[in-house]
Structure 1
Amino acid sequence: MSTPLDNALNCLRDDVRAMHAYQVHSAAGLLKLDAMENPYRLPQELQQALGERLGQVAINRYPAERVQDLARALAAHARMPADKGLMLGNGSDELISLLAMAICKPGATVLAPVPGFVMYELSARYQGLRFVGVPLTADFELDESAMLAAIARDQPALIYLAYPNNPTANLWDPATIERIVQAAPGLVVMDEAYQPFASRDAMDLLARYPQVLVMRTMSKFGLAGVRIGYLMGDAELVHQIDKLRPPYNISVLNAEAGLFALEHADVYERQAAELRHERAQLQSALAGLPGVQVFPSEGNMILIRVPEANALHADLKSRGVLVKNVSGMHALLAGCLRLTVGTPEENAAMLAALQGALGSA
Structure 2
Amino acid sequence: MNQSSSPTPAVLAPRLGATLRSDVQGMHAYAVQPSAGYIKLDAMENPFLLPPELQQALGSRLAQVAINRYPGSRVDDLKRALAEHVALPEGCSLMLGNGSDELIALLALACDVPGATVLAPVPGFVMYAMSAQLQGLDFVGVPLTADFELDEAAMLAAIERHRPAITYIAYPNNPTANLFDDAVIEKIIAAVGAQNGLVVFDEAYQPFSSRSWMPRAGESDHVLVMRTLSKFGLAGLRLGYMAGPAALIHEIDKVRPPYNVSVLNAEAALFALEHADEYARQAQILRAERERLQAALLTLPGVKAWPSEANMILVRVPDSKATFEGMKQRGVLIKHVAALHPLLANCLRLTVGTPQENTRMIDALRASI
Q: Does 1:112 align with 2:120?
A: yes
Is structure 2 residue 220 aligned with structure 1 residue 209? yes
Q: 1:84 to 1:357 in 2, by over 3 A?
A: same
Match of 1:142 among 150, 166, 184: 150
Whether the 8 Å CA contact 2:89–2:215 is kept in 1: the answer is: no
Taking the TM superposition and a 5 Å limit, the aligned residue runs for 1:3-22 are 3=11, 6-22=14-30
Any idea what SS the aligned residue of 1:224 has? helix
Deviation at 1:204, TM superposition (A): 3.8
Residue 126 (1) aligns with residue 137 (2): no
> What residue is the counterpart of 1:76 in the other structure?
84
> What is the deviation of 1:235?
0.7
Q: Deviations over 1:251-298 (max 9, x none)?
A: 100000000000000000010011000000000001111110010000
2:216 and 2:169 mapped to 1: Cα distance? Answer: 12
| Alpha-carbon separation, structure 1, partners of 2:357 and 2:126 | 27
* Secondary structure in 2 matching 1:53: helix
Identical amino acids, percent of aligned pairs? 65
How far 1:25 sits from its partner (Å)? Answer: 1.0
Give distance in 1, aligned partners of 2:54 and 2:73. Answer: 24
- Determine the C-alpha separation between the residues in 2 that align with 1:33 and 1:204: 31
Runs of 4+ off more than 3 Å: 2-5
Alignment-derived partner of residue 339 in structure 1: 350
Shift of 1:131: 0.3
Correspondence for 2:292 among 281, 286, 289 = 281
Shift of 1:205: 3.2
In the alignment, residue 321 of structure 1 is paired with which amino acid? Answer: V
Letter in 2 for 1:160: Y
Instruction: Return closer, same or farther for 1:11/1:78 CA change in 2, 3 Å cut-off.
Output: same
- For 2:138, give the aligned amino acid: R
Asked whether the 8 Å contact 2:313–2:350 carries over to 1, the reply is: yes
**Normalization by structure 1: what TM-score?**
0.97
- Which of 40, 43, 46 aligns to 2:51? It is 43
Structure 1 partner of 2:237? 226
Select 1:197's aligned residue among 196, 204, 208: 208
Equivalent AA in structure 1 for residue 257 of structure 2: P
SS in 1 for 2:94: strand
Q: Secondary structure at the match of 1:267?
A: helix
Partners of 1:280 and 1:338 lie apart in 2 by 15
Query: Equivalents in 2 of 1:123, 1:44: separation in Å?
Result: 39
Identify the match of residue 260 of structure 1 among 271, 279, 304.
271
Number of positions where the alignment pairs a residue of Structure 1 with one of Structure 2: 357
Q: How far apart, CA to CA, are the structure 1 residues paired with 2:19 and 2:135? A: 16
1:52 to 47, 60, 63: 60
RMSD of aligned Cα (Å): 1.0
3-state SS in 1 of match to 2:28 = coil
Deviations 1:62-116 (A, max 9, x none): 0000011001111111111131110000000000000000111111000000000
User: In structure 1, what is the equivalent of residue 35 of structure 2?
Assistant: 27
Shift of 1:7: 1.9
Change (3 A) 1:331 1:3: closer
Q: What SS does the corresponding residue of 2:340 show, helix, strand or coil?
A: coil
Q: Structure 2 unaligned runs (5+)?
A: 1-9
The separation in 1 between residues aligned to 2:341 and 2:202, in whole angstroms, is 20
User: Aligned partners of 1:291, 1:205: CA distance in 2, in Å?
Assistant: 41
